[in-house]
Each structure stands twice: as C-alpha cells, then as structure tokens.
Structure 1
Amino acid sequence: MSSPAVDGTRTAGPDRPDRTGRPAPPARRRPALPRLGPLPWIGPAVLLILVVVVWPVVEMVRTSLRRIDTSGTDHGPAGLVKYRKLFADPRLPDVLLWTAVWTVVVVGLTMLLSLGLAQLFNQRFPGRRITRWVLIAPWAASVLMTAIGFRWMLDQVAGVLNRLLLDLGLIDHARAWTGDAAQAKPWLVLVAVFVSLPFTTYTLLAGLQTVPNEVYEAARVDGASPWQTYRKVTLPLLRPAFLVALVVNLINVFNSFPVIWGMTQGGPNTDTATTTVFMYMLRGYDVAESAAMSVVNFAAVVVLVLLFLRTSGWNQEENR
C-alpha cells in the first residue's frame, strides 16, 4: 500500500486531480519502434542471410540425402549412400590434391605480388594515378570473360601466343597449351593470380596508408634500417589488412570456378578440376552426389577459415 506524501497531499494520477483541481493527463506509452531496439535495422540483413545463405545450405544438405536422377525426379531418401559413392570415386583424391596445391600456390603468389605492388603504389612517382587505374581493369572485367580471353589467346590454331612464338622461332610447331594438364595448370595459376591482384593490392594499400608517418620518423630517429623498419613497424601494423586479404583470397580461390571452367572445363578428364569444378561436373551424372560434394566443399571452407583464424590470433588485440 502506497504511503501518502509528506505534506498530506495525494499524488496525482491518471484518475486523480492535481493541485489545480484538473485531472492529470494519461501516461504516454513508449512508441513501438524504439521498443524494438536494433531489430528494424538488422532485420533485413538477417532475412537476407536466411534466404541467400541458410536456406540454400539446408536445401543442399537435403538434396544430398535423396535419390534424384538426372531428370530431377526424386525417388525418396538415400541416407549417406551418395557420400559413400563420392568418397569411393577414384578421381576424388587427385581432385583434392590439385585443389590444395591450387589454393596454396595461387593465394601465396597473390599475397606476395600484391604486397610488392601495394608498397610501390604507396610511393609517389610520375604516373601513379594511371597505374592504379590500370590495376583495376582485371577486377572490373568479368572473371569468366577474362578466362575465355586467355583460352583463345592460348588456342592451338587461332591463338596469338602460338603465332608470336612461331614468328620469333621459339617453338617449331603450335602447341595446345590448355590441352594437357601439365601445361594448362601453370596458365590457370597465372590467370587466377592476375584476377586476384587488384582486390588484394588495394586492401593492402589501404592498410599501408593507415600507418602514421610519425611511426616511421620515430624509427629513423632510433637508427632503424629500412629493412628493420619494414619488418618491425610496417608488417605488424599491416597485419589486420593482410589477414582480411588472406582470408578473402582463401575463400575465393578455394571456390574458384570461372577461371578453370572458362579455360579447360576441368579437363582433360578431371585433371585440372578443383572440388568446385568437380561438383559442377557431377551434376550431369548424379544430382545428389553433386550436392554431397557441395556439402563437403562448404564444410571444408568453414573448417579452413576457423583453423586459420584460430592459429593466426586475428583478435588477440581485442582480448588484451
């Protein structure tokens, strides 16, 4: 039971008059929008993630557990039959090995070359703005279009590379550069690095431009050599941007499809196929097995990224 006020008056309420004798106005309710908090702002993003990411993953897993023929007819549940069939495929070990080599080599070369280009573009020199614009070209163009362009350039009959090498006397006959896996793989790596350089270079360049000049001046005052400054000042401060570029490249290169499909379509046979291309090739024979390969790919990407983030200590500064 509420106690009366000290002066003996009663507190005005919605049905009690105040000191002037007029009824007090009713209490206002809070608007509905503030009570929802951040939900109106994050709701569309959550909905987009559910539709674009979660729902396809659920459908992919469901499809891998069904018996679906090439015409799309569902013949009922299959359990783990398609996974057993996939792992029993004699082509899978070579595909997995090439996928690992492909990812490590392309990402390694991309990061190394991009680091050098970022250092170059961070310096002042005549024509720097033009060279920066030129670097955007592989990024602005369609990756599939770039891959097809390289395929025609390497064509045995109409390719300009064979014509150039023949005119220079460097080869005695035209070669099918993409017809043999041993010759096609280096070209695939070259094109993949070519289309990956712009994003990685600009990410590292953005990181370099956040390093304050005062840090370099302090290092010079302390007598540090250029190499010591780069190793103990630049690289540690560039670490966040480097990790972002590395993780994005790992995901993109592992899932790369346009470069390989546009140049060799995974052939000859499956000699140049990564797991993503192999998954697409399986769709013509067994839709459910192709879905099983998709699930394995998805799980591999998640595990790869989690392991990398755990071993790299990407959030160690936040935990200090």
Structure 2
Amino acid sequence: MVVVWPVVEMVITSTHKISGLGIDFGSDGIGRYRKLFDDARLGPVMAWTVVWTVLVVTFTMVVSLALAQLYNQKFPGRRFTRWALIIPWASSVIVTSIGFRWMLDEVAGVLNRAMLDLGLIHSAENWTGDAAHAKPWLILVAVFVSLPFTTYTLLAGLQTVPGEVYEAARVDGAGKWQTYWRVTLPLLRPSFLVALVINLINVFNSFPVIWGMTQGGPNTDTSTSTVFMYILGQTDVGEAAAMSVVNFAVVIVMVLLFLKVSRWNEES
C-alpha cells in the first residue's frame, strides 16, 4: 500500500492534464509525455543529472574509502573523529544546504569575507548566482552530506575482514599495497557495491541540497530531474508526474543492474 499505490497514482496522473492548482481537465493519453520530451529544458537537465550523479558518487566513494581506511586504524582521538563524522548525517540536509547558502552569500557570507580579508579576491563573488559557480559548490555539499553513511558502510566491511587473511598475506611476502589491492579491496566488494548503489539512488533522487542552495536556478541551469519535476508541478501536475515516471524508470534500471552485479559478486 505504501509503495505500490503511490506508483499507480503517479502513472495515472501522468496521463491526465492537471493544472498547478490541481484542476483535473481529464485524460490526455501520452500528451503530458509529449510535452515533457518537447521541453527544450529536459536535455540540459538530464545531462546535468548524469554529471551530478557520477561526480558526487565518485568523489563520495573515493573519500569515504580513504576515511574508512583511516578509521580502521588505531590512533589517538579516533572515537571523537568517528562521532564528528556523524554530524552531517544527523543534521537535516535542507538545514545544512541553507547553512552553506548563507556561508556563500555575496553580501553576508563568511566565505567572501574571509577571502577578501586574505586578499584572495578583490570583490565579493555571488557563488550561487550562476551555474558555473554554483555547480561545484552543489557537488561539494552533496559529497559532504553523503560521506557519513558511505564511510560507515565501508568501515563495517573493513572490520569484517579476518585478521588471519592479512597474516597469511604477510607470510606470503605481500607488501602493503599488494595486500590492499589483492586482499582488502576484493573482500570489501560486497560493502562497496551496497554503498555504491544506495549512493547512486540517493544522489539521483536528491532534492534538498539543490533546492536549499539554488532552487534549481538560475532558470533551471542547476536543476536535476528531481528538482525539475518539482518545478514542473507548480504549473502542470501531469507533466511533473510524467517526469516522475521517467525518474522511477531510471531508478528501476539502477536496481536491476545492482541485482545483476550482486549475482556476479556471489558467483565470484
């Protein structure tokens, strides 16, 4: 009921012409899909969605792998740093995004103030005022809020690797890098795949980071497909539902790929 019914309603809604005020003008067949795919904004939005998803997930996985490896070692203050990593995860993503937006504000932002005082810039920059400046910051914030879950998932995987395996590798004369590439990473693959797919789905569907910082603007230059869906819903609910169906189909493809990769992993 919680999952299937909303999906059915979403598909039905995508075949109706419904105004932004919720007035249903009746069935429109595939008219909303035609309108969606004829929208000149859809191509750039989908291209940015792919770039956004790939870059955020890639940076998140690489940094999280390094952090997990660090936190798997013993060092003074390890417990404190592990607790500190939870903060971006425990905080509301929309609150974090709005906080970064104010930090980057052209007039009152702390970043401009610090860079001006250090002589790094000669005048205040509007960091979220155009897509060229905003996109790198959006990626940075998305990675920041994605690190805790991914790091702890990989850390849990690292802690399941038996110590006897490392001992056997040392006896066989394997160096640190050989042990990491031939022992640690292969045994970490199940956790890595889980973290990778969940991040792909979460980042692809992410709404709070972009909406909290730029609201998809200027125009729709920083909108991903999820944000674009919300923007469409303000004027045409049927077209927004059509965009939802497209997003849903993409997520289903991701899940099917994950199942295929998981089967390959089990066979290996």
TM over 0.5: yes
Provide runs of 4+ in structure 1 moved above 2 Å: 307-310, 315-320
State the partner residue of 1:316.
264
Contact 2:197 2:254 in 1 (8 A): no
Residue 317 of structure 1: how far off its partner (Å):
5.4
CA distance in 2, matches of 1:143, 1:251: 16
User: Are 1:275 and 2:225 matched, yes or no?
Assistant: yes
User: Are 1:81 and 2:31 matched, yes or no?
Assistant: yes
State the partner residue of 1:136.
86
CA distance in 1, matches of 2:110, 2:133: 17
CA distance in 2, matches of 1:166, 1:240: 47
Counterpart of 2:248 (choices 298, 309, 312) is 298
Give the alignment of 1:94-113 within 5 angstroms: 94-113=44-63
Q: What amino acid is the match of 2:73?
A: Q
Counterpart of 1:168 (choices 118, 132, 145) is 118
Provide the alpha-carbon RMSD of the alignment: 1.0
Deviations along 1:268-297, whole A, 9 cap, x unmatched?
000000000000000111010000000000
> TM-score by structure 1 length?
0.82
Residue 318 of structure 1: how far off its partner (Å):
4.2
Q: What amino acid is the match of 1:298?
A: F
Give the alignment of 1:212-227 within 5 angstroms: 212-227=162-177
State the partner residue of 1:286.
236
CA distance in 2, matches of 1:317, 1:289: 39
CA distance in 2, matches of 1:205, 1:274: 30
User: Are 1:60 and 2:5 matched, yes or no?
Assistant: no
| DSSP 3-state at the match of 1:245 | helix
User: Are 1:244 and 2:198 matched, yes or no?
Assistant: no
| Structure (1/2) with the larger helix percentage | 2
Q: How many residues align?
A: 268
Percent identity between the two aligned chains? 73
> TM-score by structure 2 length?
0.98
State the partner residue of 1:194.
144
**Rg larger for:** 1
Give the alignment of 1:13-92 within 5 angstroms: 51-92=1-42
State the partner residue of 1:146.
96
Asked which structure has the greater RCO (Cα within 8 Å, sep 6+), the reply is: 2
State the partner residue of 1:156.
106
Q: What amino acid is the match of 2:241?
A: A
Residue 319 of structure 1: how far off its partner (Å):
4.7
CA distance in 1, matches of 2:120, 2:20: 48
Q: Which sections of structure 2, spanning at least 5 residues, go unmatched?
A: none
